[in-house]
Amino acid sequence: MISVIQRVRSARVEVEGRVTGRIEQGLLVLVCAERGDSEQEADKLLAKLLKLRIFQDAAGKMNRSVQEVGGGLLVVSQFTLAADTSGGNRPSFTGAAAPGEGRRLYDYFVDQARLAHPLVQTGEFAADMQVHLVNDGPVTIALRMEPQER
């Protein structure tokens, strides 16, 4: 699974003019399931981002996790993270999981996040979404959890 996380002061997702998810301080989590991914990669990704120490402590150092600061998670599916641009100027998305499998793993990831963290909001899988955010820092980090067989 691939994810890009952004430390935010606030973020929201809109679909057709309605807000589907909104958080204040926390992490905007763009997530993509790739072919060959399973629940194991989703679990590893979630564990990593919940413990990632990218929020400031009292001394101003990035030393606290989203859990420690009580921040929210806004989880948004984004299959374009699997883009392959090595063959030219038009990206190929063949590395992304098929839509049904992508949805299943996205839903699993969100369900697990809700079990592990008190504030989880979402976008809408496969929808045309508008994502609004105030990136804090800015802090943006790419994470990838590779299946063992790749």
Residues labelled catalytic: 78-80
At 43-52, the pLDDT tens digits run 999 999 999 9
CB atoms within 10 A of CB 12: 19
pLDDT interval class at 60 (50, 70, 90) = very high
**What is the distance between the alpha carbons of residues 142 and 150, in angstroms, rounded to a whole number?**
19
> What 3-state DSSP class applies to 5?
strand
Is it true that domain 2-144 has CATH number 3.65.10.10?
no
Structural domain spans, the chain: 2-144
Which three-class secondary structure string do you get for 81-146?
Answer: HHCECCCCCCCECCCECCHHHHHHHHHHHHHHHHHHCCCEEECCCCCCEEEEEEEEEEEEEEEECC
At 114-145, the pLDDT tens digits run 999 999 999 999 999 999 999 999 999 999 99
**What is the distance between the alpha carbons of residues 131 and 15, in angstroms, rounded to a whole number?**
9
Distance of CA 78 to the CA centre of its chain: 8
